[in-house]
Chains A and B, each alone.
Chain A
Amino acid sequence: MRAALAILRKDLRIEWRTRESVSGLVALGVLLLVVFTIAHDPTPEQAPLLAPSVLWATFVFTGILGVQRSFLLEREQDCLSGLLLAPIDPASIFAGKLAANLVLLGAMQLIVVPLVAVLLRVDFSGVLPELTLVLTLGNLGFAAGATLFAAMAVRTRAREVLLPLLLLPLVLPVLIAGVKATQAVLAGGLATAGDALAVLVAFDVIFTVAGWLLFTYVVRD
């Protein structure tokens, strides 16, 4: 836990200093939102149906960029070797990187969600606690899978292409469940989102446990 916290603090300190990831993610997020909105030009009736898929597609594409960047940081100057030389469980490196990626995703969503509300004229104000729950569950599953696969992809030459190719098929259930749960939230509540929430929880557990157990094999040459 001590090592995971140290890695989280280090990543956040670097991000606070450079603001490279957050600014890149927000810029890409806004661009994607604008493109989706202009392409669909939904009527006020269509907007609540469209908003969940626009939200989640934006989160996934920007999320991949953010997680990839967090591992490029470790590749520069062979910093990953510095972490692996420490007498710590490699799983705590996974935990630290996962926590940092979750903070980054959350920061990006704090900007993107209100923008969706403005651009698609959707009112989230009455369902904020439910929406926060769905986003938190989706973020954990996505970030855990992305953190594991980014650690794998960053060691390869084709890392920019490899991560989306490996990750997108695997996080598809998270994406679909996230969209369905968000649709249910906007339609009136979580009562009808039981199955979608169960899928999100299941993938949170699967990806987090898989990352915790497999990270040591992924990061060592």
Chain B
Amino acid sequence: MPKTPVVAEGLRREFASVTVLAGVDLIVEGGECVALLGANGAGKTTLLRVLATLLRPSAGRLLLFGEDAARRPAAALARLGYVGHESACYGDLTATENLDFHAELHGVADRADRVAELIAWTGLGAAARRPVRTFSRGMMQRLALARALVHRPELLLLDEPFSGLDPQATALLEALLVELRTSGHAIVLSTHDVPRAAALATRVVMLHRGRIDWDGSGGQSAGVAIAARFDAMVAAVRRA
């Protein structure tokens, strides 16, 4: 029986005296694509970094694939891919070298084939041997996605993954996310793009001041209701 990718109970995170996560309960099953929506400062990035084990929660419990994330279990990390606001790729290495390095760290058996496959998927073939310092924002984002996918993770955590992508790359990523979701992968992504979140996600979670304010189904049909709910939440933030 496969273990649930994410089980979060009462996650809290404080930075000095500022509470960014104020008790988040979230379960993400395989085959789910959860879109995190929220105004700036709602806690989306912090939640994703906690789920990725990059930040320790101040309180609460996080299980990744049934294992306590506080111990950073290697088996769980091997099944997790994360894309943050920065690419986590070295500017003085080429795209191929960056992917090969991360594949080696993850112990990918067919490194050369996997790297070539991802370079082709991202459309970075012509620039694959250039230092990535010379890449545009969109190229960097595509490389960051390839880095997160290099070890074929079952849980993808994506912080505003569409940011900086051109329409072609956006379509590519959308298609990939649909493919991954339908093949049983779990995806948690944050975005400010409400229509895209509604269309792509099976579930939409709205964060407000570090708490889950709303948790409902995604899908095209729910788009209007999600947009209305999101607008009301943002308006409430502005009034406060």
Q: What is the interface of chain A, defined by CB distance below 8 A to chain B?
A: 2-3, 6, 10, 13-14, 17-18, 73, 76-79, 81-89, 216, 220-221
Contacts and interface: CB of A to CB of B under 8 A. Distances in A.
Interface string B87-108: 1111111000100011011110
Contacts of A78: 84-88
Given A10-B101, A81-B84, A87 B90 contact: no
Interface string B55-90: 110000000000000001011011011101111111
A87 B53 CA distance: 11
B96 to A, nearest CB: 12
Contacts of A77: 86-91
A87 to B, nearest CB: 4
A81 to B, nearest CB: 5
A89 to B, nearest CB: 8
B147 A82 contact: yes
Interface of B: 52-56, 72, 74-75, 77-78, 80-82, 84-93, 97, 101-102, 104-107, 131, 147
A87 B107 CA distance: 9
The residue among B56, B72, B82, B147 with the most chain A CB atoms within 10 A of its own CB is: B72
Contacts of B75: 87
25 contacts: A3-B104, A6-B104, A10-B90, A18-B92, A77-B88, A77-B89, A77-B90, A78-B86, A78-B87, A78-B88, A81-B88, A84-B54, A85-B53, A85-B54, A86-B77, A86-B105, A86-B106, A87-B106, A89-B74, A216-B72, A220-B54, A220-B56, A220-B72, A221-B54, A221-B56
B107 A10 contact: no
A6 B77 CA distance: 18
Contacts of B56: 220-221
> Interface SS of chain A: helix, strand, loop or mixed?
helix
A86 B153 CA distance: 11
The residue among B88, B97, B106 with the most chain A CB atoms within 10 A of its own CB is: B88
Given A2-B104, A87-B75, A88-B105, A14 B93 contact: yes
Given A2-B104, A10-B101, A221-B56, A85 B82 contact: yes
A10 B92 CA distance: 10
A46 to B, nearest CB: 44
A78 B138 CA distance: 17
A87 B54 CA distance: 13
A2 B107 contact: yes
A151 to B, nearest CB: 15
A39 to B, nearest CB: 37
Contact of B105 (A14, A18, A76, A83): A83
Q: Which A-B residue pairs are the 9 nearest by beta carbons?
A: A82-B88, A87-B74, A86-B105, A78-B86, A87-B78, A87-B77, A6-B104, A77-B86, A14-B92
